[in-house]
Amino acid sequence: MNFLKRVLSTVVGLFVFLFICFGLLIVVGLLFGSSSEEFVTVKSNSVLELTLDFPIKDYAGKTEFKEYTFLNEDRKNGLFNIIDAIEYAATDDHIKGITIENNFIVAGITQTKEIRDALLKFKKSGKFITAYSDIYTQKDYYLSSVADTIYLNPAGSLEFKGLYSEQLYLKDIQEKTGLKMEVIRYGKYKSAVEPFLANEMSAENREQISVYLNSIWKQVKQDISESRQVSMENLDSIADNLLARNAILAKKSNLIDKIAYHDQYISGLKHALHLENEDDIERITIEDYAIHTADKLKSNSSNQIAVIYAEGDIIYGEGDENNVGQGTMRTAFKEARDDEKIKAIVLRINSPGGDALASELIWREIELTKQIKPVIVSMGDLAASGGYYIACNADKIIAEPTTITGSIGVFGMLPNGKELADNIGINAEQVVTNKNAVDYSFFEPLSEQQHDFIKEGVIDIYELFTKRVADGRKMTQDDVKIIAEGRVWTGADAINIGLVDEIGGLDLALKTAAEAANIKDYKIKELPVFQKDLDKILRGFGLVKTKEAILKEELGEENYKMLKKIKSMTEKKGVQLLFPYSTDIK
C-alpha cells in the first residue's frame, strides 16, 4: 500500500511540475518567441552603433522546436545580418552615420575584413563613419581604420605590432607523466599533431606558418595603407618600433586623427548631426537594426538561392549550431535539391575540418546536388582539411585573401596511458577470442600490427582525399600531392596553386551562383534549420524524468530490473526458444 502511495504521489508531483514548466514556457514564448521586429523603430537623425563585442558567427542560426513552436528562434546577429544592415543603412534616410566606440570585436580576421569592406561601401553614400576607443586592439584598429575620423583617449593605447602564432610542444610532459599520444600522420606539413612528436617547431611547419601570417599581414597593411594614406613600408616600421603605442605616437604616425576624451567625441558626433550640446543623440545598435532591416532587402522574386552554412568542427552525426554534421547537411542539401524555387546553392564554409567519414558523406551530398543545380563555395575564416574536402568538388570556389585553407592531409591520434598506469600501480589484462579482438586499449601501447592497420587507413583516406581534390579541381593527383601534405595556404596564395578560383566574399559567391543559374533577381534562403527536442534538452538538465527514471529512483536499479523481467515473462505466450542466461557480456 505504501508503495502505491509513493508511486501515486510521484506521478501527481510530476504532473504538477510539468504543468508549471509548461506555463513558464508559454510565458517565455510570449515574451521572446514572437518576432521582435515590431518593437524596433528607427528615429530620424539617428546614428548606427557598430559595437561588435559579442561572438560573431557567419550564421546566427534558425532553431525550430516541433512541439513548442512559440520557442522557435530566427536570430539576426550573424555576420551577414550585420553586413546587410550596414548595406541598408547607406540608403536609409533615418541613418546619418555610423559610430564605432570601444569595440573589442569578437570575430575572425576574415569576418572583420568582410565587415570592413561593407563599411567602405557605406562610405560611398556620403554618410560619415567615426571611431573612438580607450584601447584599440590590433583587430579593432583594422576595422576602425576605415573611419573618416579616428579618436583615441589621451591616456589610451593602440596595438599595432604585427601578427604572431604560438604553439605549445608537449613531448617532454608526455615523457614525464607517462600519458602519451599514439600518432600516425600523412603529410610533412600536417602540423596539428606535431606538438606530441617533438619539442620544437619543424622547419616545414615554421615555413608554412610564416608564409600564411605574412600573407594575412600584407592584406591588413594594404587595407590600412589605403584608408590612412600611410605607406606599407611605414606601417611595418610603426609595427617594428611600436610607434603607435600611445595616443601621441599614434597621432604622430597618422594612425589616428584626434586625441580626445569620450565626452569630447560625443560633442564632435553631435556637431556632425547638427545637434545642440543639450540634445541627445538618437542611437540604434547594429543588432536591433539588423532585426529592423531583416526583410527590407528581400527581393519579390520567386527565385531563390540557398545559402547553406557549414560552421564549426566536422563531426560524425547530426550536427548543431556549433558543429557540422552530415545529418543536418544532408537534410539541407536535399531540401535545396528538391525545392524548385531554389535555383542555385552557395555553401558557406567556416570550418577547420574534423571527421573524415562525415566529410566524405557531405562531399557526396554536394556531388548529388551539383548534378541538378550549381553549387558555389564561399570560404570564411577557415576552410581547411575537412573544410576543404567538402569544398573541393563545387562548381566554383571563392575565398577571401585572408582565408586559411588547404591542409590536405590526414592524421590519426590515440591517447596511451601505459606508462602512467605502470607508474601508479595499474595493470590491465585482456581476455580475447581472436588475436585482433583488442583493436585499441588505453592501457596498452599499439602493437606493430595495430600501428600498420591504422597507418593503412590513414593512407587510404589521404589517397581518397587527394583524388577528390584532383577530380574536383581538374588536376592530376600527383599535382595535388605537391601542394598537399597537410600544408596550409591563405586564399591569396591558394588562388595561385589552383585550390581557389576567385577572391571575394559571400556577395561575389551569390552573384556567381545567380549567373550560373541564369537568374537576376532572387531571395536568399538560409539553411540548415536546426531541429530541437525540448523534452530531450530538459531531460539532459534533469528537469524532466521519464517513467523509467522515476521507477528506478523509487525501486532501486536491481529491483527495477527484476520488475522488468517479471513483466516480460508474463507477456510471453506459447512455447519459447529462449536463451536461459543473461546476455549482458562485458
> Does residue 370 sit in the same domain as residue 315?
yes
With respect to residue 521, please indicate whether it lies within any of the assigned structural domains.
Answer: yes
Question: Between the CA of residue 183 and those of 238, 428, 454, 485, what are the distances in Å?
Answer: 43, 22, 10, 16
pLDDT value at position 33?
Answer: 45
| Distance, CA of 529 to CA of 321 (rounded, Å) | 9
Show the beta-strand stretches assigned E in 81-142: 95-101, 128-136
* Enclosing domain of residue 88: 45-161+242-293
> Does residue 490 sit in the same domain as residue 522?
yes
pTM exceeds cut of 0.85: no
pLDDT value at position 117?
Answer: 97
> Does residue 72 sit in the same domain as residue 130?
yes
With respect to residue 171, please indicate whether it lies within any of the assigned structural domains.
Answer: no
Q: How far is CA 425 from the centre of its chain?
A: 43
> Does residue 260 sit in the same domain as residue 388?
no
> Does residue 311 sit in the same domain as residue 281?
no
CATH code of the domain containing 308:
3.90.226.10
Closest CA to 395 of 301, 243, 517, 491: 517
What is the H or E stretch that residue 504 is in?
A: none
> Does residue 82 sit in the same domain as residue 147?
yes
| Distance, CA of 245 to CA of 252 (rounded, Å) | 11
Q: In which residue are the cell numbers 528615429 written?
A: 43
> Does residue 555 sit in the same domain as residue 485?
no
With respect to residue 8, please indicate whether it lies within any of the assigned structural domains.
Answer: no
pLDDT value at position 451?
Answer: 85
Cβ neighbourhood burial of 159 (10 Å; 0-12, 13-18, 19+): middle
> Does residue 358 sit in the same domain as residue 404?
yes
Write the single-letter amino acid at 169. Y
What grid cell was written down for 208? 608554412
Of 144, 145, 359, 385, the active-site residue reads: 385
Of 190, 221, 343, 418, the active-site residue reads: 190
With respect to residue 155, please indicate whether it lies within any of the assigned structural domains.
Answer: yes
Quote the crossing angle between the two packed helices 356-370 and 326-338, to the nearest 10°: 0
> Does residue 288 sit in the same domain as residue 308?
no
- Structurally, the chain folds into a number of domains equal to 3
Closest CA to 56 of 116, 99, 101, 97: 116
With respect to residue 437, please indicate whether it lies within any of the assigned structural domains.
Answer: no
Q: Dihedral (C-alpha) 441, 444, 450, 451: value to the nearest 10 degrees? A: 120
> Does residue 403 sit in the same domain as residue 351?
yes
Torsion sign across C-alpha atoms 271, 274, 277, 278 = negative
With respect to residue 467, please indicate whether it lies within any of the assigned structural domains.
Answer: no
With respect to residue 197, please indicate whether it lies within any of the assigned structural domains.
Answer: no
Cβ neighbourhood burial of 12 (10 Å; 0-12, 13-18, 19+): exposed
Torsion sign across C-alpha atoms 88, 90, 91, 94 = positive
3-state secondary structure of 34: coil
Listed as ranges, residues in the chain with pLDDT below 50 are 1, 3-5, 7, 11, 26-38, 543-544, 568-586
Residue count of the chain: 586
* Residue 267 designated active-site: no
3-state secondary structure of 301: coil
Cβ atoms of residues 403 and 505 within 8 Å: no
* Residue 385 designated active-site: yes
What grid cell was written down for 271? 556637431
Cβ atoms of residues 350 and 386 within 8 Å: no
pLDDT value at position 557?
Answer: 61
| Distance, CA of 301 to CA of 299 (rounded, Å) | 5
Show the beta-strand stretches assigned E in 203-250: none
What grid cell was written down for 131? 571611431
Give the contacts of 583 (CB within 8 A, at least 6 positions apart). none
> Does residue 527 sit in the same domain as residue 540?
no
pLDDT value at position 550?
Answer: 59
> Does residue 540 sit in the same domain as residue 526?
no
Residue 104, Ramachandran bin (φ over 0: left; ψ between -120 and 50: alpha; else beta): left
What grid cell was written down for 247? 595616443
With respect to residue 20, please indicate whether it lies within any of the assigned structural domains.
Answer: no
